[in-house]
């Protein structure tokens, strides 16, 4: 045990190592250059350029080729110095002259450590080391290739905005700022990953988000120690409450409008560089059943669609288990004519119902996974043709009964009705243990499985918020946005997890005939 504590302490020290004495910049450019060349040994994309000055001193320019905007660097800094010399003769400090020369650049700052220079250069910025100065100037000239803003392929809508997040953090935050033009929208920055130095920002609206939730997000992100963060899923693994629960406790989305709507409900967004997926916490069970389009269509349409989703969710979880339980243990519940048809279809099938269902479910999941991983032109064809050919051949060969093919196909279609992929995946996983319980104990096994899931959901928390809230614990004022989607003018208050600012819409805005007559 002592060995593991020592090993853990060494790892913590490695990630939290303090700056050593050799990390400080010196006033001699040659010494700084040697230390930087040692740091960037065998890094052929790091450019060192020495720029002579009028008084025989020099400037050392360090930048990363391909990531630094060299055109701006040449036009604003190098050409004026090389061809015009130092125009500010009356200023004694060369550092001040260079700083004034960099005024056209949006952001310029000074750093005093070698490690800080290394980090800034690797982010695409240009570092200026000046003879006689122990502080380097950093010009923000990062220029990375960016993907254009497109509609998210995983969250398409018929009515709603068509823009989606990209892999660039600053573009993603600007898409959020474009919708919420308020200084109360706060964002705090973190850097994670010993090697990747990935930029992470948390966004929340002051006064709407609860301080306790914001502080918990800060705490969980701040304690992450990892060598790399390549996608937001790396962070999700560290901040969720119950890692081994099949249900997701952190929402992810590619849509800026979903993030803004969540921020206005008191939630916190986590934006990670190099990925278009933004994390939203806390997440509730009902969030996974809601689509962005629910709030753009009329309330009566959305309410109808939500009840269809609830029905499809139950079918996706329980339909194969109910079929196996009824045909194996409770045949008396089937009407006589239907029972004769099912028995005739199952005649000659060598497997019991539960094995038959497990085989078909496994094959359906295999076809779905193959359709996702294959190239788009081939994937859809493989999924459709594979399902038709294999299903028809299995029935004709007498290995699988025709009713089972219908049950599994209906279950697969129903599983696509869940708007959030990760919540639908949780139900796809839970379908198998409930199917086994139904094959062993009939309806009693299904009840055991469903009750176990409900107990787990009731005890599950996401950043301290009940996963089934506002249904359990119940809040009558907010249920109108869970099972129903009430008209916008009637949803006057924010959800329970919001902070001090509870009012969303002032009362008294219901449309009426009398109001129309007064207008006339």
The pLDDT tens digits of the residues spanning 91-104 come to 456 666 676 666 66
Tokens matching residue 463: 């950043």
3-state secondary structure of 63: strand
pLDDT at residue 10 is higher than 50 = no
User: Cβ of 87: how many Cβ atoms within 10 Å?
Assistant: 12
Rounded to an integer, the average pLDDT of 484-493 is 87
pLDDT band at 473 (very low <50, low <70, confident <90, very high): confident
Q: Which of 57, 136, 68 is closest to 99 using CA atoms?
A: 136
| Contact between residue 132 and residue 94 where contact means Cβ atoms under 8 Å apart | yes
The pLDDT tens digits of the residues spanning 330-384 come to 998 888 898 898 889 888 889 999 999 999 899 888 888 887 877 776 666 666 6
Check residue 5 and give its pLDDT. Answer: 43
Rounded to an integer, what distance in angstroms lies between the CA atom of residue 351 and that of residue 439? 12
Check residue 379 and give its pLDDT. Answer: 66
Better-scored residue on pLDDT, 477 or 149: 149
For residue 126, give the H/E element and its range.
strand 126-130
Crossing angle for the helix pair 211-222 and 232-239, nearest 10 degrees? Answer: 110
Rounded to an integer, what distance in angstroms lies between the CA atom of residue 6 and that of residue 366? 45
Tokens matching residue 93: 């400090």
3-state secondary structure of 127: strand
Rounded to an integer, the average pLDDT of 40-49 is 92
pLDDT band at 193 (very low <50, low <70, confident <90, very high): very high
Strands (E), 131-238: 136-139, 185-192, 198-205
Check residue 18 and give its pLDDT. Answer: 42
Check residue 515 and give its pLDDT. Answer: 57
Rounded to an integer, the average pLDDT of 81-90 is 57
Check residue 269 and give its pLDDT. Answer: 98
Sign of CA dihedral 18, 37, 199, 68: positive
Check residue 11 and give its pLDDT. Answer: 47
Crossing angle for the helix pair 353-373 and 402-415, nearest 10 degrees? Answer: 50
Rounded to an integer, the average pLDDT of 204-224 is 95
Check residue 40 and give its pLDDT. Answer: 94
Rounded to an integer, what distance in angstroms lies between the CA atom of residue 51 and that of residue 172? 37
Check residue 1 and give its pLDDT. Answer: 41
Q: State residue 258 phi and psi, 5-degree precision.
A: -65, -40
pLDDT band at 130 (very low <50, low <70, confident <90, very high): confident
pLDDT at residue 468 is higher than 60 = yes
Rounded to an integer, the average pLDDT of 384-409 is 83
pLDDT band at 39 (very low <50, low <70, confident <90, very high): very high
Question: C-alpha distances in angstroms, 182 versus 154, 178, 417, 442?
Answer: 29, 10, 36, 57
The contacts of residue 75 (CB under 8 Å, 6+ apart) are none
Question: C-alpha distances in angstroms, 372 versus 231, 391, 442?
Answer: 20, 20, 34
pLDDT at residue 280 is higher than 80 = yes
pLDDT at residue 516 is higher than 60 = no
Tell me which of 97-106, 192-201, 345-354, 435-444 is least confident. Answer: 97-106
HEC assignment per residue over 346-415: HCCCCCCHHHHHHHHHHHHHHHHHHHHHCCHHHHHHHHHHHHHHHHHHHHHCCCCCHHHHHHHHHHHHHH
CA distance between the termini of the chain: 82
| Contact between residue 202 and residue 270 where contact means Cβ atoms under 8 Å apart | yes
Report pTM.
Answer: 0.87
Q: Which of 248, 203, 209 is closest to 221 using CA atoms?
A: 203
pLDDT band at 463 (very low <50, low <70, confident <90, very high): very high
Q: Which of 175, 165, 171, 205 is closest to 188 using CA atoms?
A: 205
Rounded to an integer, what distance in angstroms lies between the CA atom of residue 185 and that of residue 268? 11
**Parallel, antiparallel, or unpaired for β 126-130 and 108-111?**
unpaired
**What percent of the chain is predicted at pLDDT more than 70?**
86
Question: C-alpha distances in angstroms, 211 versus 278, 310, 460, 464, 487?
Answer: 21, 33, 21, 13, 30
Tokens matching residue 208: 């709407």
Check residue 509 and give its pLDDT. Answer: 87
Check residue 262 and give its pLDDT. Answer: 95
pLDDT at residue 12 is higher than 60 = no
Question: C-alpha distances in angstroms, 502 versus 251, 493, 516?
Answer: 23, 5, 30
3-state secondary structure of 310: helix
Check residue 472 and give its pLDDT. Answer: 83
Check residue 88 and give its pLDDT. Answer: 54
pLDDT at residue 23 is higher than 90 = no
How many helices and strands, by DSSP H and E, does the chain display? 18, 12
Mean pLDDT of the chain: 85
pLDDT band at 513 (very low <50, low <70, confident <90, very high): low
> Looking at the DSSP assignment, which residues form a beta bridge with residue 51?
59
| Contact between residue 265 and residue 495 where contact means Cβ atoms under 8 Å apart | yes
Check residue 258 and give its pLDDT. Answer: 96
The pLDDT tens digits of the residues spanning 238-267 come to 999 999 999 999 999 999 999 999 999 999
């Amino acid at each position: 045990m002592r060995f593991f504590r020592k090993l853990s302490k060494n790892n913590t020290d490695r990630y939290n190592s303090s700056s050593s004495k050799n990390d400080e910049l010196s006033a001699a450019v040659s010494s700084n250059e040697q230390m930087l060349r040692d740091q960037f040994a065998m890094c052929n994309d790091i450019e060192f350029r020495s720029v002579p000055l009028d008084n025989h001193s020099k400037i050392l320019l360090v930048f990363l080729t391909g990531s630094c905007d060299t055109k701006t660097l040449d036009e604003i800094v190098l050409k004026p110095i090389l061809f015009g010399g130092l125009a500010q003769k009356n200023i004694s400090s060369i550092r001040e002259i260079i700083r004034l020369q960099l005024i056209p650049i949006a952001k310029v700052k000074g750093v005093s450590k070698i490690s800080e220079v290394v980090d800034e250069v690797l982010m695409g910025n240009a570092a200026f080391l000046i003879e006689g100065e122990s502080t380097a100037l950093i010009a923000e000239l990062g220029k990375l290739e960016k993907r254009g803003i497109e509609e998210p392929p995983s969250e398409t809508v018929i009515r709603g905005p068509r823009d989606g997040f990209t892999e660039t953090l600053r573009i993603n935050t600007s898409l959020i700022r474009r919708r919420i033009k308020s200084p109360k929208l706060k964002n705090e920055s973190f850097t994670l990953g010993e090697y990747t130095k990935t930029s992470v920002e948390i966004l929340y609206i002051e006064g709407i988000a609860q301080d306790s939730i914001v502080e918990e997000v800060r705490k969980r992100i701040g304690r992450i120690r990892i060598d790399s963060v390549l996608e937001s899923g790396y962070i999700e693994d560290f901040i969720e409450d119950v890692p081994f629960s099949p249900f997701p406790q952190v929402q992810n989305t590619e849509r800026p409008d979903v993030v803004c709507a969540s921020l206005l409900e008191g939630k916190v967004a986590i934006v990670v560089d190099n990925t278009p997926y933004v994390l939203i916490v806390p997440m509730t069970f009902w969030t996974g059943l809601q689509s962005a389009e629910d709030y753009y269509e009329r309330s009566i349409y959305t309410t109808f669609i939500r009840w269809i989703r609830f029905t499809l969710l139950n079918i996706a979880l329980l339909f194969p288990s109910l079929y196996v339980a009824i045909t194996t243990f409770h045949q008396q519940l089937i009407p006589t004519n239907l029972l004769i048809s099912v028995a005739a279809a199952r005649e000659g099938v060598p497997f019991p119902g539960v094995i038959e269902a497990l085989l078909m479910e496994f094959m359906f999941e295999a076809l779905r996974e193959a359709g996702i991983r294959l190239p788009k032109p081939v994937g859809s064809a493989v999924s459709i043709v594979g399902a038709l050919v294999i299903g028809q051949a299995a029935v004709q060969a007498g290995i699988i009964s025709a009713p089972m093919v219908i049950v599994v196909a209906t279950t697969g279609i129903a599983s696509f009705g869940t708007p959030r992929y990760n919540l639908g995946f949780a139900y796809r996983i839970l379908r198998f243990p409930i199917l086994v319980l139904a094959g062993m104990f009939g309806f009693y096994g299904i009840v055991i499985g469903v009750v176990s899931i409900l107990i787990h959901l009731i005890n599950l928390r996401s950043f301290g918020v009940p996963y089934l809230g506002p249904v359990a614990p119940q809040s009558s004022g907010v249920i109108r946005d869970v099972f129903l989607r009430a008209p916008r003018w009637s949803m006057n208050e924010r959800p329970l997890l919001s902070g001090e600012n509870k009012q969303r819409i002032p009362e008294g805005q219901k449309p009426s005939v009398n109001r129309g007559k007064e207008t006339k």
